[in-house]
Amino acid sequence: MRTTLEWQIATIQSIQVETSTVKTFTLAVPSWMPHRAGQHYDIRLTAPDGYQAQRSYSIASEPERQGVIDLTVEWLEDGEVSSYLHEGLTTGDQLEVRGPIGGYFVWEASMNGPLLLIAGGSGIVPLMSMIRHRAKTGSQVPTRLLYSVRTPEDVIYDEELRQRPAFRDGLEIFYTFTRSQPAGWTGYARRIDRQMLSEVVEPFGKEPLVYVCGPTLLVESVANQLVQIDIPPARIRNERFGPTGGTQ
Amino acid sequence: MTDILQSDMNQALMMDGNAVAGTLSEVFAMEMTTSLAECVSCGKRSEMGGLLAFIQTPGFVLRCPACKDIVLRVVVTPDAYYLDARGALYLRLVRQ
């Protein structure tokens, strides 16, 4: 479908602090249209002198939630746009946005699975849209999320992710904490490697649908490891966020 | 095969076609991340969302994930889009 991608003015409905460096902005979008889980919106800032900066941010909310989008943004130290979003905005403020954008890194419940979602840091954002969409459709597609973060304080959507496996709808979540772990932690405590991937993907056989998202180096590393354990490249979709967790 | 020590090739900074999808949709007037591009250098066919994107250049460069050669270059100026598609044998855009 030919969609008109015009810039429009969205209004901040609410701002949710997820971690010390991550916030979710709920935006009311006048020309909202249902997105596909995994898509993103572009945000464009224009300075008084006309200088413009534009970045892409993945949609965290599910398309079933109408009229608004959640964009989860990680603050980057030298991030032109993320700094402004984190430090300069409050409810009622407006932003120029364009979207939804993307057709490659998307998952819809009709695509089935089994589904392996691999996130590093803020790479969880588009995968969260997939998880939320999956739940809203009542899908029971076997799904495993492998979420790599540095410390327990870096887990985005922590409370929601803790609750979801209890719904017993076929979603399992595996964390790996690469720098410091919760007290008494017996799970993974290292960077994602081939062994970890083999263990997590084991019940899914050789043909899961795999989505990998996060810092580029993590995505590159995981992509190579997935090939080494014989996951067909055609079943893997990657989205690289650049040097740290954010899109630049 | 390209010398991988190109000035725009800093692997940690690189992204992929998803990151430039908005600009591609301006140039091509359609969503491009699932359009196919065949690399002139090595013949690999990739969806454009899977091409490696380097945005530290003026505009951006999309490289083949297999051989790392340039597939597409785009520069956006106030008056015009410049598109260099010499690195692609063809682009396949699905009609909607």
DSSP string, B25-92: HHHHSS--TT-EEEETTT--EEEGGGSEEE-SSSSEEEE-TTT--EEEEEEE-SS-EEEE-TTEEEEE
How do residues B59-80 score in pLDDT, each as one tens digit?
899 999 999 999 999 998 889 9
Instruction: Band the pLDDT of B1: cuts 50, 70, 90.
Output: very low
Contact (CB, 8 A) for B31 and A101: yes
Residue A113: predicted pLDDT: 87
Q: Which residues of A touch B68 (CB under 8 A)?
A: none
A52 and B CB contact within 8 Å: no
How far apart CA B23 and CA A102 sit, in angstroms, is 11
| pLDDT reading at B10 higher than 90 | no
Class of domain A8-101: mainly beta
Strands A171-177 and A209-214: unpaired
Residue from the list B16, B25, B96 with its beta carbon closest to the beta carbon of A239? B16
A contact test, residue of B18, B27, B60 with most A CBs within 10 A: B18
CA-to-CA separations, A93 to A10, A25, A168, in angstroms, rounded: 8, 11, 39
Q: Write out the residue range of the structural domain in which residue B16 sits.
A: 11-92
Residue B9: the pLDDT is 62
Element (H, E) at A195: helix A194-201
Q: pLDDT value at position A248?
A: 32
- Residue A106's region, left for phi above 0, alpha for psi from -120 to 50, else beta, is beta
Mean pLDDT of A66-76: 96
Whether A245 contacts A123, CB under 8 Å? yes
The total number of structural domains in chain B stands at: 1
A206, A232 contact by CB (below 8 A): yes
Window 40-79 of B, Cβ < 8 Å to A: 47-50, 55
Q: So what's the pLDDT on residue A3? A: 53
B3 is a domain residue: no
Does residue B56 lie within any of the structural domains? yes
Assess contact for A219 and A213: CB atoms under 8 A: yes
Q: What is the average pLDDT value for chain A, to the nearest integer? A: 94
Q: Is A169 left (phi over 0), alpha (psi -120 to 50) or beta?
A: alpha
pLDDT tens digits along A134-154:
999 999 999 999 999 999 999
Residue with more model confidence, A2 or A211: A211
Where are the domains positioned within chain A? 8-101, 109-240
CA–CA dist A231, A236 (Å, integer): 8
The verdict on residue B6 lying in a domain is no
Q: What CATH number has the domain spanning A109-240?
A: 3.40.50.80
Query: Which pLDDT value is given to residue A4?
Result: 57
Region for residue A97 given its phi and psi (left: phi exceeds 0; alpha: psi -120 to 50; beta: otherwise): beta
Residues of B in contact with A105 (CB under 8 A): 18, 33, 49
User: What's the rounded mean pLDDT across residues A65-86?
Assistant: 94
Summarised one tens digit per residue, pLDDT across range A198-210 is 999 999 988 999 9
Helical packing angle, A194-201 and A216-228, nearest 10°: 70
B17: chain A residues, CB-CB within 8 Å: 104
B15 lies within 8 A of chain A by CB? yes
ipTM: 0.88
Residues of A in contact with B15 (CB under 8 A): 216, 240-242, 247-248
Dig out the tokens for A226 from the structure: 């997935």
CA B86 to chain A, closest CA, distance in angstroms equals: 23
Q: Which of A83-92, A101-110, A181-190, B7-16 has the lowest mean pLDDT?
A: B7-16
Q: Alpha-carbon distance A55 to A66, whole Å? A: 23
Q: Reduced to 3 states, what is the DSSP secondary structure of residue A161?
A: helix
Strands in A94-101's sheet, in edge-to-edge order, are A52-58, A40-46, A94-101, A8-19, A22-28, A68-74
- The answer, for B24 touching chain A at a CB cutoff of 8 Å, is no
In the block, which residue shows the tokens 């998803």? B18
Over residues B10-23, the mean pLDDT reads 90
The residue type found at A7 is W
Query: Across residues A38-62, what is the average pLDDT?
Result: 94
Q: Which of A162, A30, A2, A19 is nearest to A96 (CA)?
A: A30
